[in-house]
C-alpha cells in the first residue's frame, strides 16, 4: 500500500510541476502508440507512414492562388506538415483536432511533409 501511495504522489507532483506543453506531448505520444501509429520522429522520407497526432494549426491558400490547405500535425515527438492540394478547406480539419493520417512521407525545405494524406478524424478528442 505504501508504494502505491508513493507512486500516486510522485505522479501528482510531476503533473503539478511539469510544463503543460510537455504533459500534452506525453499524452499525445501515449495515444499514438496505443493506436499503433508510428512516432513522427522515427519516420523517414519515402516511407509509407501512419501517424496520429493533434493539429496545431491550419492555413488555406488565399483566393487567386492555387488551392491548397496546410496543417501542422504534432504527435508529441515531431511535427509533420500536411498539404491537401486542390482544397482550401476540409470540414473537421481545424486546429486542436486529433487525426490519424496515412501517406508517403516527403521533405520540403528540410521539413517532413505528407501530400494529400488519407485522414481519419478521431472522435471525442
What pTM was estimated for this model as a whole?
Answer: 0.75
pLDDT on residue 67: 86
pLDDT in tens, 36-82: 788 888 999 999 999 999 999 999 877 778 889 999 999 888 999 99
How far apart, in Å, are the Cα atoms of 58 and each of 1, 3, 42, 91, 102?
Answer: 48, 45, 24, 12, 18
pLDDT in tens, 1-27: 455 666 777 776 666 665 656 656 667
**Cα–Cα dist 21/28, whole Å:** 10
Provide the CATH topology of domain 2-121. OB fold (Dihydrolipoamide Acetyltransferase, E2P) (2.40.50)
Rg of the chain (C-alpha set):
17
Q: Buried (b) or exposed (e) across 3-15, using 16+ Cβ within 10 A?
A: eeeeeeeeeeeee
Amino acid at each position: 500500500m505504501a508504494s502505491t501511495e508513493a507512486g500516486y504522489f510522485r505522479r501528482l507532483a510531476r503533473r503539478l510541476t511539469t510544463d503543460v506543453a510537455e504533459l500534452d506531448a506525453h499524452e499525445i505520444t501515449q495515444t499514438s502508440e496505443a493506436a499503433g501509429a508510428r512516432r513522427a520522429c522515427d519516420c523517414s522520407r519515402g516511407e509509407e507512414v501512419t501517424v496520429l497526432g493533434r493539429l496545431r494549426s491550419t492555413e488555406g491558400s488565399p483566393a487567386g492562388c492555387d488551392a491548397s490547405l496546410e496543417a501542422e500535425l504534432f504527435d508529441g515527438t515531431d511535427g509533420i506538415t500536411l498539404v491537401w492540394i486542390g482544397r482550401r478547406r476540409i470540414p473537421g480539419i481545424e486546429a486542436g483536432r486529433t487525426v490519424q493520417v496515412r501517406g508517403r512521407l516527403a521533405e520540403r525545405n528540410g521539413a517532413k511533409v505528407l501530400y494529400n494524406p488519407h485522414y481519419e478524424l478521431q472522435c471525442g478528442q
